[in-house]
Amino acid sequence: MVRLFNVYYPTRLLVLVAGEGIIVCAYFILAAFMRFGQDSLLVLNYQFGFYKILGIAVVALVFLHYFDLYDAQRISSRGEIWFRLLLVLAILSFCLAGVGYLFPAFMLGRDTFVFGLTILTFALFAWRGAYDWMIRQPFLRERVYVVGDGDRAKRLVEAMRTRRELGMEVIGWAGSVGTGSLSREAIAPDLMDHVRKHELDRVIVALADRRGTMPVRELLGIRMAGIKVEDATGIMEKISGKIEVESLYPSWLIFSEGFRLNPAFVLARRLISILVALTCLFLILPFLPIIALLIKLTSPGPVFYRQKRVGKNGTVFTCFKFRTMRQDAEATGGAKWAGDDDPRITSVGRWLRRMRLDEIPQLWNVFRGDMGFVGPRPERPEFVEWLAREIPYYHLRHVIRPGITGWAQVRYRYGASLEEAREKLKYDLYYIKNMSLSLDLLIFSESVKTVLLGRGSR
């Protein structure tokens, strides 16, 4: 796996992305050669033709990403992939035609554009077919053996078997998954035999309890033989983009890399948050009266909703939002999460939530320093007190400022239960461990995608 923006991506996925980027560039260049022959270099050099093609490639890759064509977990059927690919090419054609009409100097010429797009369609379909064949080939996969049992090993094996883009083939595991504890004697005698027999590339240790069960001598011999030996917590972090809290030891948190809050980084991040908040407020300012009017026309009560939330180091602050529920939403039941088709949400409020426009007033919280632009979502004190009792390490999410958007928001749905809060904590801990300006930029980009597709809200 390759680390980019402090996130691990399967090498195969990067090959797919790079291949499609190269194809887009190559086929527009080929179209120019087919159309203009020997004069094609003059055409491409004229008014930065090569840079225009590179720009088209970047836009095409962004569209492919926004339509989940690089997310095998969201779409897996071949028919849906082909349909979305055609949809992306149609939208790309429409956008480029519009740009060419408004800014004729930007385009390469109508004939080159039509030629390139026609060839590009066939080329992308062929490349997707070749990629699909490639990831199915056993000889191109990494052969993995899992040492362990129980839920931890089961989750790991499941992830590797269902996500073909990881390129990992589970040859087997020591002991039966989910059958209880595993003794050292059950692992040790045949572990090295398995390694030799199956020509393994990697051994992953997923023991629920290592005390007295860790085959240290055998694993050391395997490692000295040049075979990778990894802990399940680390590999699951890379695969899933989250930190498993169920099987987490405090020592792992203490000694693992990450969790670095450099003062210069914190200051730069704060200044960027203020700048982004002010810019967004300035751009959105003309639309605020319209939103306020819609809220007042559809539901009696104030435009803004003020609520106590828990921030950095457990401090409580007042969070501002556009009101999306009836004024008496908590008159009887008290504090509770919003559910699917929650009757307390107004008609305009449902639209505001879907587009995340109800969170615009939180830009003021960012400017004041209560929140950052990116970070764990702030929860109410009542919920925090309860969740901290039920979920280990929950208090760690308060070591940084909460944010308007975050890693958990772009990777997981809206959380409205104990189990969903536990799942979101895994993503929050991953973000705190790996936080950087590049990861913030990635989250911001993913947030735009989430808003445009209306995901993650209730």
Domains of the chain plus CATH, in order, are 2-135 (no CATH), 138-240 (3.40.50.20), 263-453 (no CATH)
pLDDT at 72: 76
Is the predicted pLDDT of residue 46 greater than 90, yes or no? Answer: no
Q: Which ranges of 259-346 does DSSP label H, i.e. alpha helix?
A: 263-284, 288-298
Give the torsion sign (CA, 162, 157, 166, 141): negative
More confident residue, 250 or 100: 250
Asked whether residue 178 carries a pLDDT value surpassing 60, the answer given is no
Task: Tell me how long the chain is.
Answer: 458
pLDDT number for residue 401: 94
The answer to whether 56 and 145 have CB atoms below 8 angstroms apart is no
Asked whether the beta carbons of 108 and 53 are under 8 A apart, the reply is yes
Cα 364 to Cα 199, 274, 367, 394: the distances in Å are 58, 9, 5, 26
Predicted local distance difference test score (pLDDT) of residue 191:
75
Write the pLDDT tens digit of every residue in 419-432.
999 999 999 999 99
d(C-alpha 37, C-alpha 87), whole Å: 31
C-alpha pair distances (Å), 429 with each of 314, 348, 393, 444: 16, 34, 9, 18
Q: How many CA atoms, within 13 angstroms, populate the side-chain half-sphere of residue 255? A: 6
User: CA 147 to CA 200: how far, in whole Å?
Assistant: 13
- Indicate the range of 40-44, 263-267, 296-300 predicted with least confidence: 40-44
**Bigger pLDDT: 345 vs 247:** 345
